[in-house]
Chain A
Amino acid sequence: MPVREVSKHIREGKISPVELAEFFLGRLEKLGPGFNAVVTVTRESALSQARKAEKEIEAGLYRGPLHGIPYGAKDLLATKGIPTTWGAAPFRNQVFDHDAAVIEKLNEAGAILCAKLAMIELAGGMGYKQPFASFTGPPKNPWNPGTWTGGSSSGSGASVCAGLVPFALGSETWGSILSPANNCGVAGLRPTYGRVSRHGAMALCWTLDKLGPFCLTADDCGLVLEAISGPDPDDPTTADEDWRYKPSAKKRFTLGVPKGVADDAQEEVRTCFEEALSVLRKISTIEDFEFPDMPYEAITRTILNAEAASSFDEFIESGKASELTAPEDHYGPYARTVVLAKDYLRALRLRGVMARVVDEIMARFDAVVAPSSKRVATPIDQEFRKAAPGTTKDPMGAIGNGAGLPSISVPSGFTSNGLPVGIQFMGRAYDENIIIAIAKTYQSVTDWHKRHPKTA
């Protein structure tokens, strides 16, 4: 059930926050381990928060739509006194004495933290090539546990998909929200860079990392984003203005489809995308276009490599990469240590050119549309590239993350063997209200998001 509906039941007194917390804590404890989705269930503190929420609501102090709503947080978000493991064996006992800004904001909103959720070690920053890249085990997709959830926000995607929590927080440097949202068939919102404070979140790449919600619906993503967004003096990269969720009242949109964007996608992904475009034509004008020819992937990849090497400089120098779970992560970081400073700076200069050039084109549209991923969830015991060869180029990811643009992924179909397929709507910087409105409208004329995997 979407957050908005649960919230209504809480407000009307039909269900208490304590009952709700008990329910989801039970599911996290019973089902979470089967998907390798959970690191820590925070039962005691969750029930304490729930009791406080219950008293406040009974006394008429209603904080808003997230009051009393359970959630899970990707385990790179600092939570005071609770382990924050970064998905990595060398950090499994790490405990911070403060909460991340987003955790503080959700506390203020009255949401109930029920679990720290599994993730790919160090947010995938050491170069993993296959799913078994977390000390919590390979993340199993609730739709088919023989496939993986996508990453690096693996537990966040799985937990919302399997109904272990009504919403979860994840992060994206390049792909880590959109990939699990796609594979798990849920809504995932990657906000504009700077929309949400990164204070207290593990840094992989300072100029690429973004925190965002996983929910069952685009509408719920708007509710959560409003709660977690806003300026933060502890994160000077945050945007100056507060953000309010006000989905655009537009009934008809103008969408751009990059030419050939699905050509190298798996066949069923391509078919689902074409069918989604047919549906979208009823509510929008769709136009093909081309991004200008630029080395988008080289730009964003160089920034990622250089910043990841620096953010984990001490870790890499120490040799502790040998303690990580994925064998390829033992040596993965070393090549990045020789990205030349002048190449990193060149990539940052090209980022500005890219941002302006892309924005000029995107100004013609409300959003650009593409498959969320060119492949569905791949087998849990195979390297991604070997399981789905030819599907690894990601210019949308390079542009979107390199230029800090928001994108929302929602389910847009299923393959013949029951795996979800996603569609993404990527907007201009700060256009979250527009892309959420488009995704919400798409969900009002489709029912993919109402399908859920069978869980015990």
Chain B
Amino acid sequence: MSEEKSDDKEFENLSNVVKGRFGDRLTAEELEQVKKDIKTIADASKALRTVKLSNWDEPFLVFKPYKGRK
């Protein structure tokens, strides 16, 4: 499958997830707006993949195990 078709499929799948979960709350017009927002999110996702990462590029977030005071 070409990358473009794969992206379209991803966008369609994500839109269907939102429609399935929240569609009963949204008007047809609102659903169309949500789909536009999903497209923007999908475009951002694509942009994130333009920078290659190495295995050792960790998330910029340090997890510190918690121990409360006695």
Closest to A337 in B: B18
Contact pick for A353, options B40, B44, B50, B57, CB 8 Å: B57
| Interface set, chain B 14-66, CB cutoff 8 A to A | 14, 17-18, 21-22, 25-26, 30-31, 33-35, 37-38, 40-41, 43-45, 47-51, 53, 57-61, 64
Contact pick for A319, options B14, B25, B41, B60, CB 8 Å: B25
Binary B-proximity of A340-377 (CB < 8 A = 1, otherwise 0): 10010111111111010000000000000000000000
Known: A330-B30, A338-B18, A339-B41. A207 touches B48 (CB 8 A): no
Known: A302-B45, A337-B18. A295 touches B59 (CB 8 A): no
The residues of B that contact A276 with a CB separation of less than 8 Å are none
Contact call A298/B58, Cβ cutoff below 8 A: no
Contact call B26/A331, Cβ cutoff below 8 A: yes
Instruction: Say how far A250's CB is from chain B's closest CB, in angstroms.
Output: 30
Instruction: Say how far A320's CB is from chain B's closest CB, in angstroms.
Output: 10
Contact call A337/B48, Cβ cutoff below 8 A: no
Contact pick for A236, options B38, B45, B64, CB 8 Å: B64
Contact call B44/A301, Cβ cutoff below 8 A: yes
Binary B-proximity of A296-315 (CB < 8 A = 1, otherwise 0): 01110110010000000000
Contact call A338/B17, Cβ cutoff below 8 A: yes
Contact call B30/A349, Cβ cutoff below 8 A: no
Instruction: Say how far A428's CB is from chain B's closest CB, in angstroms.
Output: 16
The residues of A that contact B53 with a CB separation of less than 8 Å are 346, 349-350, 353
Q: How far is the CA of A337 from the CA of B37 in the complex (A)?
A: 11
Check A271 for interface membership: any CB of B closer than 8 A: no
The residues of A that contact B50 with a CB separation of less than 8 Å are 295
Instruction: Say how far A161's CB is from chain B's closest CB, in angstroms.
Output: 33
Contact call B51/A294, Cβ cutoff below 8 A: yes
Q: How far is the CA of A103 from the CA of B37 in the complex (A)?
A: 37
Closest to B57 in A: A349
Q: How far is the CA of A334 from the CA of B30 in the complex (A)?
A: 10
Check A105 for interface membership: any CB of B closer than 8 A: no
Contact call B49/A346, Cβ cutoff below 8 A: yes
Contact call A298/B48, Cβ cutoff below 8 A: yes
Q: How far is the CA of A332 from the CA of B35 in the complex (A)?
A: 10
Contact call B18/A335, Cβ cutoff below 8 A: yes
Contact call B60/A346, Cβ cutoff below 8 A: no
Q: How far is the CA of A351 from the CA of B53 in the complex (A)?
A: 11
New A-B contacts (8) at CB < 8 Å, excluding given A335-B18, A337-B18: A298-B44, A305-B44, A330-B30, A334-B18, A335-B34, A337-B22, A346-B49, A351-B59
Q: 21 A–B contact pairs at CB < 8 A?
A: A295-B50, A298-B44, A298-B45, A299-B48, A302-B41, A331-B34, A332-B37, A334-B26, A334-B37, A335-B34, A336-B37, A336-B41, A337-B18, A337-B21, A339-B41, A340-B45, A343-B48, A348-B60, A351-B59, A352-B58, A352-B59
Q: Which residues of A are interface residues toward B (Cβ below 8 A)?
A: 127, 207, 236, 294-295, 297-299, 301-302, 305, 319, 322, 328, 330-332, 334-340, 343, 345-353, 355
Q: Which residues of B are interface residues toward A (Cβ below 8 A)?
A: 14, 17-18, 21-22, 25-26, 30-31, 33-35, 37-38, 40-41, 43-45, 47-51, 53, 57-61, 64
